Structure 1
Amino acid sequence: MTAHVPQRSGADPRRWQALGVLLLAGFLTLLDTSIVVNALATVQRDLGASYAQIQLVLAGYSVAYGMLLITGGRLGDLYGRRRLFVWGLLGFVLTSALCGLASSAEILVVARVLQGLAAGLMFPQISSLTQVMFGLEERPRAFGLQGAMVGLGIVAGPLLGGTLIGADLFGSSWRPIFLINVPLGLLTLGLALRLLPESRSETARKPDVLGVLMVSVGMFLLTYPLMLGRELGWPRWSLWMLVLGVLVLAVFIAQQIWLTRKSGPALLELSLFNQPSFRMGALVGFVFQTGVLSFFVSMALFLQNGLGLSPIHAAWVLLPFQLSIAVSSLNSARVSGWLGSRVINLGAGLLWVSMGLLILTIRQAGMGLQGFELAPVLILGGLGFGLIVAPLQTLVLRQVSPQFAGSASGILATLNQVGSALGVAVMGMILLSQLGQQPTTERFVLAIQVSLGYQVVVFGLVFGLAWLLRRSSLAVAEVEPTRQPAARL
């Protein structure tokens, strides 16, 4: 018989080892959103892929991943979060092997889509299992470690991908960027079967098939053009897909409201949005994500296409940001203990200042920028990033009942995914408008300043929304000062 996770903090003596399993799986999931960036040209040359196919190698994973996050979280509540995690991880390992062994561009595109679907089933279980394994006093530390994982997963991809391609192990070229998931995934799978406890919602009912279909189609219609529209020059069909995607998702939400009122098997747990901490926190997270991935993409384009740095050199330039994210996330529980939810304002403020200083630094150096001049400002930004991710997740999920942990995690992950795609699309339009038909280094220097101005607006908005959340008299999910020790490496 399946054992359910005790809700009292400290009841499971292996919970920290189990968290390590979840973090490794989450790292692999996020890594695969960016690890192929440095491999696209090599893959295109090796497989004879068309421009459209090589774009689908990159976007197919993210689009499929975003389609299943809400459904994956709900299925975890219903059938067991450990079970969905294990099946999703197994699918991720198998499809990673298929990617690495692909003999044609068509097979690689299909494998990447399947890999994204497996990740969409697995990823929501990470936050939901953390939610039910740890009590209120330990969640800030647990989510602090998750914040470090998120930061490392987002920015480690280009560096690791470029390193593996440069090593050309056994003449395998780009294939190790996918095949590395196989041994690491199998190790994680074995540990998961041994360490992860099972949990599920006792009140969850089977979600309606129509709702699953609508949210999947709606997410596809919305995220696909956001991912590829900029690269394709925003053809008319991409704009129609966006409009149709919004309409389908609007119908889906209306259908979920109707089912909830009729006490039917709704896919969305709409009662979560009655909680101010969840409602406002989800909005803060969505806006924050519109500035995160778009920052890395714009900086990578500037460093490589504008300044002519190699992919590895560009990745090393951004490394200070990555390392400071890890340090800040691991100590975010301690800072939260001192400041409460004000820590989110501090993080947003640091990011806002760092983006402004980046603009000034690039403007001063101009076309003579080497990259190392950015390190102090990038460290400042990384510290701010790490002070937002974990405390915000703690704040948003603080009032959520463990029985709805999967639903909450799926909703938040979906909003984050849409926010990231939207931010990259907006950033792309900004860059294209500044670069014109014949991009030069001088144009890139100007374009990155305008793009960073967009980040300034986003993180300033995050600061204001976080202030409203903290000031709300209903936001009883305040992260109280607990003076608890920070998570340590």
Structure 2
Amino acid sequence: MSSPAVPSISPRARWQAFGVCVAVAALTILDLSKVNVGLPSIEKSLGADSTALQVIVAGYALAFGLALVPAGRLGDLYSRKVMFIIGLSGFTLASVFCAIAPDIETLLIARILQGVAAGVQMPQVLGLVQQLFQGEERGRAFGLFGAVIGISTAFGPTLGGLLIAVGGPTDGWRLLFWMNVPLGVIALALAAWLLPKAQPHQPGARNLDLIGIVLLGIAVFAFMLPFVLTTGGPDDSPWRWLSLLGCAVAVVLFITWERRYEAAGKSPAIHFALFSLGSYRNGLLLATAYFAAIPAVFLLTTLFLQEGLGYAPVFAGMVSIPFALTSAATALIGGRLVSKYGRSLVVMGLVVAFVGFVLVLLGAVLPPAEYSIWFMAGAMAVAGAGGGFVISPNQTLTLAEIPVTEGGVAGSMAQVGQRVGTAVGVAAASSIFFATLYSEGPGNPDNVEVYHDGFRNAFFVTLGLILVALAIGLVDLLRRKRAADDDPEDDASDSDTAPGVPVADPVATDE
């Protein structure tokens, strides 16, 4: 099958629409990092326990992940612009309910609704970028996208700390959510004005595979739930892991249903042929491992600096600024270099990021406490320099061969992987951190060495996840080089094009 032509749109209009998309994506990602700094404030203000705090962070990621695939599919089939506006409206409204929440139960419900709304709008962003740009211009667009996302992720804790300082230690956390409201309203007006109405569609009936979507949603929920409920405290129930059996059953049912549905000539929720594209499959796995590590790094860092070393939220958040600056710079550079160096660029970025995070760990546990924050900030600059070469180049490589008509659902599956990774990584790292405090804390809760041990033990998890991402990157790099050796005349980024999936503008080779 061939991919329908992309409706013509002027370069100025494309970049204006891209500006709206990337701004809303940044607003969404900010809520994954800035709220971490507000957890101690929320705990004091609303009397939240460790489980509630875990749901605020990982529950948002869970709801986010559940909404991605159905929202991406609806955007592909009908209108990405309409779904974008629906998601942004819901995100803005849910932010209001978070800000005015009188108790922890209301905040948890509003936070989960906010995650659902974020999951509705994010696949539209990725689908629109696929639709608006082609070739090397797409690499530059994803480079700028990665720079903004990197800045948002790393500046989130600093911004959160500033807002708490302005609003006060008791209710300052409410400003974290109030901030979204005026920005969301402005973005809604710009989206209605600037986003393209027309988009390409595959010929034929626009059927929505509801059963497949529900089964996939059950699988994602059952997989993420035990990690969301993992706090590292003594009250964690071992029965929560039975949810993984339900996930396995749902996956088997989903695969069986999707194959029968596609065999009947209908369009399934996910074309499994996409996963036979090495560029897409390996890029998705790499991003899942990487995003399992990065949010956990920022969470552990802010917890260690606030609770262990006694820094105010604003200063605890500022340690990530060097990461933001260097990752933004290298993401822009990476967007321009990915078409030349391909997967090699990502592998190099992962090596540098790993070295940087090792230095973060050493900076936290070796120097005297009063100097740790400075060593950690310097190490964050090294990690960010590598991280910028990971996110945007990998995004470009992952979606390089995906047809425009599948951009939303393909991008949403990549986002599902990232949200699953976030939930798993945050749960694993934070539970080890708190478990160490629970085991060593009685009798010496103010001992800095207890927090050193908790940070060190939990940080080993994030380093392991970075190594997993590096291993996947090396496997993909070797696969590409073998393909290039077998067919030296082929300049495409992948030679194992899946049957039934058109090649959609390959952009990268490995030299």
**TM-score, normalization: structure 1?**
0.89
Report what 1:69 is aligned to. 68
- How far did residue 333 of structure 1 move? 2.1
Q: CA deviation at 1:306?
A: 2.4
Q: Compared with structure 1, are the counterparts of its residues 360 and 53 closer, same or farther at alpha carbon in structure 2 (3 Å cutoff)?
A: closer
Partner residue in 1 for 2:211: 210
**Is 1:329 paired with 2:345?**
no
The separation in 2 between residues aligned to 1:53 and 1:431, in whole angstroms, is 16
- Residue aligned with 2:440, SS: coil
Contact 1:276–1:474 (8 Å) recurs in 2: no
My pick for the range that moved more, 152-161 or 135-144, is: 152-161
Q: 2:449 aligns with which of 442, 447, 453?
A: 442
CA–CA distance in 1 between the matches of 2:437 and 2:55? 24
CA apart distance, 1:192: 0.9
Shift of 1:185: 0.7
Is the Cα contact below 8 Å between 1:75 and 1:84 reproduced in 2?
yes
- Identify if the C-alpha distance between structure 1 residues 480 and 186 changes in structure 2 by more than 3 Å, giving closer, same or farther: same
Whether the 8 Å CA contact 2:356–2:382 is kept in 1: the answer is yes
1:310 matched to which residue of 2? 312
Q: Provide the residue aligned with 2:296 in structure 1.
A: 294
- After TM superposition, the structure 1 = structure 2 runs for residues 414-433 of structure 1, keeping only pairs within 5 Å, are 414-432=416-434
Structure 2 residue aligned with 1:466: 473
22-31 or 329-338: which moved more? 329-338
Does residue 201 of the first structure (1) align with residue 217 of the second (2)? no
Give the distance between the partners of 1:25 and 1:412, measured in 2 at CA: 18
- The unaligned stretches of length 5 or more in structure 1 are 483-489
Residue 23 (str. 1) matches residue 22 (str. 2): yes
Q: What is the deviation of 1:231?
A: 4.7
Residues 1:59 and 1:364: Cα distance change in structure 2 (over 3 Å): closer
Structure 1 residue 90 displacement after superposition: 1.2
Question: 2:219 is aligned with what amino acid?
Answer: G
Deviations 1:28-50 (A, max 9, x none): 11112233233334344444556
Q: Distance in 1 between matches of 2:130 and 2:225?
A: 31
Q: In structure 2, which of residues 376, 379, 384 is the aligned counterpart of residue 377 of structure 1?
A: 379
Deviations 1:209-253 (A, max 9, x none): 222222222222222321231255431332122332343234223
Q: Which residue of 1 aligns with 2:162?
A: 163
Matched to 1:329, the amino acid is A
Q: 1-side partners of 2:40 and 2:301: how far apart? A: 19
Give the C-alpha shift of residue 19 in structure 1.
0.8
Q: CA contact under 8 A between 2:161 and 2:316: conserved in structure 1?
A: no
| Equivalence map 1:92-107=2 (5 Å) | 92-107=91-106
Q: Do the aligned residues in 1 keep the contact of 2:233 with 2:434 (CA within 8 Å)?
A: no
Distance 1:17 1:103, change over 3 A: same
The aligned residue for residue 238 of structure 1 is: 240
Counterpart for residue 350 of structure 2? 348
Q: Distance in 2 between matches of 1:267 and 1:59?
A: 25
Q: Which residue of 2 aligns with 1:128?
A: 127
The percentage of aligned residue pairs carrying the same residue is 31
CA positional deviation for 1:318: 2.0
- Contact 1:6-1:12 within 8 A present in 2 as well: no
Quick check: 1:5–1:133 contact (8 Å CA) kept in 2?
no
Q: Can you list the C-alpha shifts for 1:244-287, whole angstroms capped at 9, x where unaligned?
A: 23432342233223322333342112121121111121111122
Indicate conservation of the 8 Å contact 1:74/1:267, yes or no.
Answer: yes
Report the counterpart of residue 402 of structure 1 in structure 2. Answer: 404
* Residues 1:463 and 1:194: Cα distance change in structure 2 (over 3 Å): same
TM-aligned CA deviation for residue 380 of structure 1: 1.0
State how far apart, in whole Å, the 1-side matches of 2:47 and 2:431 are.
29
- 1:248 equivalent to 2:250? Answer yes
Counterpart residue number, 1:487: none
Is the Cα–Cα contact under 8 Å of residues 144 and 330 in structure 1 kept in the other structure? yes
- Which residue pairs with 2:269 in the alignment? 267
Deviation sequence 1:421-447 (CA, Å, 0-9, x none): 112222234435544523342133234
1:452 to 447, 452, 459: 459
Structure 2: gaps of 5 or more residues? 442-446, 485-491, 495-506
CA shift at 1:186, angstroms? 1.1
State the alpha-carbon separation in 2 of the partners of residues 143 and 36 from structure 1: 26
* Counterpart Cα distance in 2 of 1:145 and 1:9: 22
Q: 1:111 is matched with which residue?
A: 110
- For 1:477, which of 484, 487, 493 is the aligned residue? 493
Given that 1:286 and 1:419 are in contact with CA atoms closer than 8 Å, whether structure 2 keeps it comes out as yes
CA RMSD in angstroms, aligned pairs only: 2.7
Q: From the superposition, tell whether residues 9 and 427 of structure 1 become closer, same or farther in structure 2 (CA, over 3 Å).
A: farther
Provide the rounded CA distance (Å) in 1 between the counterparts of 2:477 and 2:289.
16
Cα separation, partners in 2 of 1:225 and 1:156, compared to 1, 3 Å? farther
- Compute the displacement of 1:207 (Å): 2.3
